[in-house]
Structure 1
Amino acid sequence: MALITHPDVSTVTGIATLLTLAITVLFPFLIRLKRKHVNEKHRLPIPPGPRGLPILGSLPFLNPNLHHYFTGLARSYGPIFSLRLGFKLCVVISSPSAAREILKVQDAAFANHVIPAAIRKSYGNTNLDILWAPYGPLWSMLRKITVNKMLGGASMEAVAPLRRLEMRRTVEAVWGQSKMGASIDVRETAFLTALNMMTSLLLGEPVGGGPDEKEFRRAIEEAIGLLMAPNVADFFPVVAPLDPQGIGRRMKELKVWIDEYLDGIVEKKKRKLASGEKRGDVLEALLDLVETGNSNPPFTMDDLYKLLMNLVGGATDNITTAIEWSMAELLNHPMKMRIAQQELDAVVGKHRVVEESDISQLRYLCAVTKEALRLYPPVPLFIPHSPSSNCAVGGFSIPTCTTVFVNAWAIHRDPCFWGKDAGEFKPERWLEAAKEKSSFSFGGNEFCYMPFGAGRRMCVGVAMGEKMVVYILASLLHSFDWQLPEGKSLDLQERFGTVLRKTEQLFAVPAVRLDKTELYV
C-alpha cells in the first residue's frame, strides 16, 4: 500500500501561485490562438481569378480593351473576381447586386478613388481636386460648391442664351460646310460646341478659336490622353517617384500651362469687377468664395482652377463621346434616324430652331441617347474605387487599398437584365419601359444602368450633361440630313481609355433639310 503524503500549506500556496501566474500569462495567448483558429476557419476568401505570373501578375495578358478582357474573365470566374496587376490587387465587379453593395450599402467605405501616379506627381503637395480628393472635408466642400455654385439650376439657366448662341454658331458652320458637300468631323464639331458651352457657363464667355484657345483645347485633350496611357508607376508604386515614363512630368507641364491660361481669364474678370462690371456668372461666384473664405476648409484659387479644369475637361469629353456614339448608331440605323427627325418635325417643326425647352417632348431622341449611353458608357470601368477598410462583398474579402473596378460596360450588356438583344441598339426599349413605368433614370439608383456612375462619387454634372447631349444632337439632326462619305463604311469598334471613344473618329456628310436660310445664319 502506497504511502499518501499531504503537502504542507506553504507548498500548496506556492503551487497555486505558480498556476495562477501561468494562467495569467498564458490566458491572453490562448485566447488569441483560439481567435486565430476561428478567424482562419471563418475568414472570407479573396475573390477567385487568374493566377498570373510572379511579380507581373496578369499584366502580360491584358487586352487593350480592358472592359472586354474583364468581361471575359467574369464569364470564367464569376461577377466578382480578382487579379494582380504588378503589385496591385484588383477586384472587378460585374453584376448589379455587387455594384449596389459597394456603391450604396457600403458606399462610405468605398468612397475613395484610386489616385493615379501621374496625378500625384503633377499635383505635388497641393490639394487634390474633386475627382481625386479622398472622401472627407475637402471633397465635401468642393462637391458642395460644384453643386450649389457651378451646376445648380440657377447657374444653368443664367447662361442658357450663351448655350443657344454657341449652338447657332455650330449650325452655321456646318451649314457652310454642307454647301460645299464636305464631310464633317462629328467629334471635333461636338467637342468645340460643348467646350464653348461649358466655358460660357463657367467663365461667362466661350474660349473662342484663337491660337491660345486652340492650345487650351489641345492641352485638355492631351491631359485626358495621358490619363488613358498605361503607366508602369501605377502597377509598381516603388518606382512611382522616378516617373519612368515621364507621364507625371508631362502632366505637370500641362497643368502649369493651363493654370497660366486660366490665370489670364481670372485677371481679366477681376479687372471687370474692379470697374463695376458684373455679369453674375459662375467665375464671379467662385472668386467671391475665395475672397470671403467662408468655407472650412478654405476654398483657394488653386481649388478654383482645378474645379474649372475638372468640369471643362471631363464634362466636355464625356458629352462629346456620347454625341459621337449616338450619331454613329443612328447612321448605322437610318430608319431610327428618320424616326428621330420625324419626332423633331412634329415637336419643333421646320419654321424655327430647336430650343432647350423642347427636350422634354423629344422622347424618342432622349431614348436614343440613353441607349447609346447604355451600350457605350463614357467611363466603362468607372474611376477605380479603393476601400478605406477591410470589407466583405458577395461572400468575398476585399482588403483595404484594393483597386476596385466596376465594369459598367458588362452590366449594361448583361442579357440577364437586358434580354437576348442586350448588345443591339434599340431605343424602343426605353419607350416600352416608360409605358411600364419602369424607365431608368440617370440618377445611379438602378444598378443595371449607371452611365454616369453611382453613389457618393457619381458625376455631379448629370443634369447638365444630359441636357447638353440631347440639345446638341437634336439641333444637328433637325437642321441636317446625315450620311456617310461616299465609299466609306461605318466602324463601331471601341477604344478603351479614361473615356470610351470610337477607334476611328466619325465623319459624316450633312445636307440642308430646312427651307429657310435664316434658320442657319
Structure 2
Amino acid sequence: MEPRTNINLRSIDRSEPHQTSLITSPNMDKAYIAVLSFVFLFLLRYLVGRAGGGGKGAQQLPPSPPAVPFLGYLHLVKTPFHAALTSLAARHGPVFSMRMGSRRAVIVSSPECARECFTEHDVAFANRPRFASQQLISFDGAMLSTSSYGPYWRHLRRVATLQLLSAHRVGCMTGTISAEVRAMVRRMNRAAAVTPGSAARIQLKRRLFELSLSVLMETIAQTKTSRTEANADTDMSPEAHEFKQIVDEIVPYLGTANRWDYLPMLRLFDVFGVRNKILAAVSRRDTFLRRLIDAERRRLDDGSESENKSVIAVLLTLQKSEPEVYTDTMIMSLCANLFGAGTETTSTTTEWAMSLLLNHPEALKKAQAEIDASVGTSRLLTADDVPRLGYLHCVINETLRLYPAAPLLLPHESSTDCKVGGYDVPRGTMLLVNVYAIHRDPAVWDDPGTFRPERFEDGSAEGRLLMPFGMGRRKCPGETLALRTIGLVLGTLIQCFDWDRVDGVEVDMTESGGLTIPRALPLEAMCKPRAVMRDVLQEL
C-alpha cells in the first residue's frame, strides 16, 4: 500500500510561490526560548537514544561513527561530501547511520543494499525529506524532483514522461541538439583560426553549458540565445551567462552537506544571510522563466505558435482546459527542473569525459579512430551515427561510473519502518545512496579508480549496478535526453579537433562538492582543428 499524502493538485497557490514559515527575525525573548527548547529536546532525544529505547524491543540500528552533542555528525560533513561518506563506509560498513543536526540519516554504499532500497522498499523510500533551503528553491516543494510521493508527484511525473521527455519529443529535439553542436564547433573553429596552425586555449565548461542551455531554451520556449556580431564568437551568450550565474548561486544550497538545513539555530539567527541569498537567486531565476512563459503565452494568443509546440506551449494549452491543475507555479516548477537538471549535469559529465580522455591520450585516439572508420571525415557526426560507436559509449559509461552526475542521488526519506542490509531503518529516516562509492566498489570492479573504457567492451560489466541517474520510481526521467546530448557533443568534439593538455601538464582531477560532482577547476585544453576535417569545418 502506498503511503498517504496531503498534497492536492489544486493546493498550490501560484501567486505566492515562495512563502515560507521559517523565522528569520524574532525578538530576543523568542530567540532565547527557542534556543533553550532546542537544547532541551536535543538532550532528551540524545539521552533516550543512549538508553536503548524500549516498547517494541531493542532495534538493530546501523552502526555509526562517534557523535558530537548538538551537532551530531556534522563535524564529519566535508567537501566533497560523497568522498567523506566513502571513507566512513570503509570504516563502518556499507550501511551506517549518522545524525546530522536534527535529522537521522542512513548511508548505503553497496550495490546489494541499493537494489534492496529501490526494489523491495521502493515505495517506502519514495518520499523526499523537506529541507528549508529546498522549500525556498522548489516553489515550496512543488518541483517534480522534490515533491512528496503521492497523487501530485504522479501527475507531474506523467506530464514529464509523456509530454516533455517522451521518446518522440526527445527524437524531435535531435535536430536542435545537432544545430547547437554545429554552432559551438563553428565558434571554436573560429577561435582556433585566430592563430593559424596553432592550438587555441579553450575553457570547455562555459561552452558546454551554453550548448545545453540553448537546446533547452529552444525546446522549452522556442527561443534562441541572442548572438550578435559583438558576441558571435564568445564562449557564452548573455542568456547563458545570466543563467550560469543563477545556477552557481543556487547549487551550493542544494547538496546534502548544507549545514543550514540541519541546524535550526542557523536558520533562526541566519547571521550569514543564507535565506536572503537563496531568495535573491530564486527571484532572478523566476524572472528568467517568466520572460520565457510570457513570450510563449503571447505567441499562443496571437495564433503564431508553430505546429511543433514547445514544452511551455504544451503546458499552457493544458492550462486552458484545466487551469486549477496546470497553474503558473506548476509550469514554472517543471521548467525550472528541466533547466536546472539539463544544463549542469550534461555539461559537467561531458567536461569530465574530456578531462579523462586528455589524461589518457590512447583512449582519445582510439575513440577518434572509431569515428573516422564509422563516419569518415567528409561530414559531421550525426545522432544516427552515435548508436554504432561502441567505444564512444564505453567512454561515456566509464565516465558516469567514475563521476556520476549526482554522486549521492537526491536524498530519499522512509515513510515506514523497514530493514536494509539486516538493519532497522525507522520511519522518517533520510536515505543517502552513495553512487560514487557503489561505482568504485573494489569487490565489484577491478582496479575501480582507473579509467578503463574497455571494461564495458566485452559485456562483462553487464549485471553490475551502474546507476548515475538513480533507480526505482524516482529515477531521473531525463536520462535519454542526457545520454543523447552527451554522445553527440562528445563525439563531435573528438571528430573535429585534436586535443592536448595545456603545457603538457596532466589535467587536475580534483572534485568539488554539491548536488552534482563539478570539477574543482574548470577544464582548459588546447584545441586545434583536424586537418582532415578542414573542408567540413569551413562549410559550417
Maintained 8 Å contact 2:128/2:412? yes
Match of 1:282 among 290, 293, 311: 311
- Which residue of structure 2 lines up, in the alignment, with residue 429 of structure 1? 455
> What is the percentage of aligned positions where both structures have the same residue?
31
Within 5 Å, give how 1:305-454 maps onto structure 2.
305-419=332-446, 421-433=447-459, 439=462, 448-454=465-471
- Matching of residue 72 in structure 1 with residue 99 in structure 2: no
Q: Which has the higher helix share?
A: 1
Match of 2:126 among 87, 111, 115: 111
Per-residue displacement from partner, 1:31-86 (whole Å, max 9, x unpaired)? xxxxx98942xx43110111211111222233322222211221221111112222
One-letter code of the match for 1:170?
Answer: M
CA drift at 1:427: 0.5
Q: Aligned pair in 2 of structure 1 residues 213, 190: CA closer, same or farther (>3 Å)?
A: closer
One-letter code of the match for 2:511?
Answer: E
Q: Aligned pair in 2 of structure 1 residues 245, 72: CA closer, same or farther (>3 Å)?
A: same
- Which residue of structure 1 lines up, in the alignment, with residue 503 of structure 2? 486
CA drift at 1:123: 5.3
CA drift at 1:376: 0.7
- Which residue of structure 1 lines up, in the alignment, with residue 39 of structure 2? none
- Matching of residue 498 in structure 1 with residue 515 in structure 2: yes
One-letter code of the match for 1:293?
Answer: E
Q: Aligned pair in 2 of structure 1 residues 128, 286: CA closer, same or farther (>3 Å)?
A: same
Maintained 8 Å contact 1:322/1:372? yes
Q: Aligned pair in 2 of structure 1 residues 515, 118: CA closer, same or farther (>3 Å)?
A: closer
Which secondary structure does the structure 1 equivalent of 2:448 belong to? Answer: coil
Q: Aligned pair in 2 of structure 1 residues 70, 229: CA closer, same or farther (>3 Å)?
A: closer
- Give me the TM-score of the superposition, normalised by structure 1: 0.86
Give unmatched runs, 5+ long, in structure 1: 1-35, 441-445
Within 5 Å, give how 1:24-173 maps onto structure 2.
39-40=56-57, 43-122=58-137, 126=140, 128-173=142-187
Per-residue displacement from partner, 1:4-38 (whole Å, max 9, x unpaired)? xxxxxxxxxxxxxxxxxxxxxxxxxxxxxxxx989
Q: Structure 1 CA distance, aligned partners of 2:535 and 2:244?
A: 31
Give unmatched runs, 5+ long, in structure 2: 1-52, 228-236
CA drift at 1:278: 2.0
CA drift at 1:242: 4.9
Q: Select the structure of larger CA radius of gyration.
A: 1
Q: Structure 1 CA distance, aligned partners of 2:371 and 2:418?
A: 50
- Matching of residue 291 in structure 1 with residue 312 in structure 2: no
Which secondary structure does the structure 1 equivalent of 2:526 belong to? Answer: strand
Maintained 8 Å contact 1:162/1:200? yes
Q: Structure 2 CA distance, aligned partners of 1:114 and 1:175?
A: 47
Per-residue displacement from partner, 1:230-268 (whole Å, max 9, x unpaired)? 543311236545545332332222222222222222222
- Which residue of structure 2 lines up, in the alignment, with residue 477 of structure 1? 494
Which secondary structure does the structure 1 equivalent of 2:380 belong to? Answer: coil
- Which residue of structure 1 lines up, in the alignment, with residue 29 of structure 2? none
CA drift at 1:424: 0.8
Q: Aligned pair in 2 of structure 1 residues 212, 190: CA closer, same or farther (>3 Å)?
A: closer
Q: Aligned pair in 2 of structure 1 residues 471, 122: CA closer, same or farther (>3 Å)?
A: closer
One-letter code of the match for 2:413?
Answer: S
Which secondary structure does the structure 1 equivalent of 2:106 belong to? Answer: strand
Q: Aligned pair in 2 of structure 1 residues 414, 338: CA closer, same or farther (>3 Å)?
A: same
- Which residue of structure 1 lines up, in the alignment, with residue 189 of structure 2? 175
CA drift at 1:161: 2.1
One-letter code of the match for 1:360?
Answer: P
Maintained 8 Å contact 1:155/1:281? no
CA drift at 1:308: 0.8
Which secondary structure does the structure 1 equivalent of 2:217 belong to? Answer: helix
Q: Aligned pair in 2 of structure 1 residues 96, 518: CA closer, same or farther (>3 Å)?
A: closer
Maintained 8 Å contact 2:213/2:240? no
Maintained 8 Å contact 1:380/1:499? yes
Maintained 8 Å contact 2:76/2:84? no
Q: Aligned pair in 2 of structure 1 residues 76, 129: CA closer, same or farther (>3 Å)?
A: same
Q: Structure 1 CA distance, aligned partners of 2:439 and 2:422?
A: 23
- Matching of residue 510 in structure 1 with residue 527 in structure 2: yes
- Which residue of structure 1 lines up, in the alignment, with residue 253 of structure 2? 226
Please provide the CA RMSD for this pair: 2.1
Q: Structure 1 CA distance, aligned partners of 2:390 and 2:507?
A: 26
CA drift at 1:334: 0.4
Which secondary structure does the structure 2 equivalent of 1:183 belong to? Answer: strand
Match of 1:251 among 273, 278, 283: 278
Q: Structure 1 CA distance, aligned partners of 2:259 and 2:185?
A: 44
Q: Aligned pair in 2 of structure 1 residues 400, 355: CA closer, same or farther (>3 Å)?
A: same
Q: Structure 2 CA distance, aligned partners of 1:102 and 1:215?
A: 39
- Which residue of structure 2 lines up, in the alignment, with residue 10 of structure 1? none
